[in-house]
Structure 1
Amino acid sequence: MYLDSANTGQKPRQVIEAVDDFFRNHNANVSRAVHALGSEATEAFEGARGKLARFLNVRPNELVLCSGTTFAINLVAYSWALPRLRAGDAIVVTRMEHHANIVPWQLIAERTGATLKVADIDERGDLDLAQLESLLTPEVKLLAVAHVSNVLGTVNPVREICRMARKRGIATLVDGSQAAPHRPVDVASIGCDFYAITGHKMAGPTGTGALWAKREHLEAMPPFLGGGEMIREVRFDGTVYNDAPHKFEAGTPNIAGFIGLGAACDYLSSIGMHNIEAREQELLAHLTDRLDAIDGVRIFGRAREKAAVVSFLVEGAHAHDLATLLDLEGVAVRSGHHCAHPLMQHFGVPATCRASPAFYNTFEEIDAFAEALVKVRNLLA
């Protein structure tokens, strides 16, 4: 029983077959060869960019294909923030951010003299919007926020938050890793400056993802990495860079992976993201009810709007012991700090267990998980 989809999603047959078909029948590098295989590979690769763009409701030329959200955020940090920030400037993040949306900003702050401000959460795990708004003072140049928390499942009101920042001339970056696989995402309607996704969480292969950015940002930002494909002409007295998004895509990409990600977009779209969200809300409600019925279980995060992520502990038991014993019962859950140390510190615990179902899970699996958890709790009592 796989209840770890917040970590990585399972892959449907269509994705596996798309990757297999590329290697068997079309394997070549992209954008470099005039032979038939090269043309086929390039067409399939750029086709995947188009599928992902439609999935997010953005233009393909605004979408940088990269290894995932971590790379995407670092791209913004070093190519957009580093040239702009100065001593006295500030970046705002939230208490619930993944390390990938904290550490790059700390590194940039150290190099520029900028400071980091932290927006806090209430006892339910919702962002304190009033406190967040109070942090958006004139020295703030960037607000970085998760669309959905990977620990609490909190769905942040990103449209409202981005509108709040935009009125003050503050750029916004939204980490969409936990949103894109589980709910409809219309990036154009959010009103952010940057939006980052990870492919392997949305039924695609690992090592895939994307950064969406407003066109004016992409045109103004210098390249993050140098090498092949990101250039038009190289001379020893100066180099002319390619147009965006290609100027940010140095080297040979994960061609098969992105073709698989395109297939994943087709697969998710064929089901319908509204249908996926509705199904997962049913699973979340059932999971929460089953856990609430077990003595000694503490759930972290009961936000007003929440995705299918439930972090929990059993009184007197360590998260790793719980996860290990559940694994022996055939249940896969995540244990640890979930790359969210500041959030663990906020709750005063070193780690939690996290059960994160997806639309492919069943109510019967959740029932079996709850029964296994009761058994494990009794063993640890």
Structure 2
Amino acid sequence: MDAPRAARLAVAARPPGPRAPARFPFASSTAPRRAGWWWCPRDPRADSSGGGSTFPSSGRCTRLALALAHRNRSPAANLGLPPHRPPRSPAAGIGTRVTGDGGCEGRPLVECAGDRPIQEPAGVVEEKASEMSSTVPKSSNIFWHDCAVGKADRQKLLKQKGCVVWITGLSGSGKSTLACKLGRELHTRGKLAYVLDGDNLRHGLNKDLGFKAEDRVENIRRVGEVAKLFADAGLVCIASLISPYRRDREACRALLSDGSFVEVFLNMSLELCEARDPKGLYKLARAGKIKGFTGIDDPYEAPLNCEIEIKEVDGACPTPSDMAGQVVTYLEEKGFLHE
């Protein structure tokens, strides 16, 4: 008879009586563990003394932590009795444990729950893993939560109506200049406004996006959603972006079905914008150093039914005050600047 089997028989022949439960040391920690440990007899990593298995870390046995949580509920554990071990029999259908780090791979599956090891088919393990993954939140399992204070309450408090002023046009057409001037004009009138500038947003919210077609779609989608939130808060949100694709701007308009989307088209010619070139981007695009630049090698789709169109005057861009004045007049007429 081999030494390990003889040691196990000696333990089994021991007279009944309370004794300290077996413990499994962990290499990952030298700190003492709680007193309710158990035997995993089917794990081939049992030590030579027959005293049970030794796991190198808690991550190697995925059921170990669960068993620890329930161990103290067991009467056997409270009495200090040895755990019950059913007779070992080569039953068919024993699966293998699957852990994240590959521990116990290919070995007989033993789940330690309470005082007894439970053998599970591999299919049961996969089903449990599927059930665990189903607890991850998905968009189909979320619900809208209404609050007591709504958009109308906020608008009444601010004495204005929330809306989105979406400024679009070629690079260099004066979008950012108009946005800042409009924000200043509304501020002097005691109206709360906030500017969402396309370049500024690419320093934070959209810094992970480039200028490919799919990135531009996502860029506009994010800004549209944020602008909608500002409008819902009762602010005049001024979004200043090239936003070259018509369908993307229309998608943002669709987010505000109450007619609070005001599209402002700065209809400045490519020649005028390229002559101004305040950021030096057209020069880089002409030299081939910037690919997919709007107006050069990527199209700009002008609005078909915008609320406000601002055109160049005598081959020049209107003054910021004149452009802001046109937008303020429209907002006044449509009732956005009062309750």
TM-score w.r.t. the length of structure 1 is 0.22
Q: Which structure dedicates a bigger proportion of its chain to strand?
A: 1
What TM-score comes out, normalization by structure 2 length?
A: 0.24
Q: Which has the greater radius of gyration?
A: 2
Name whichever structure is richer in helix by fraction: 1
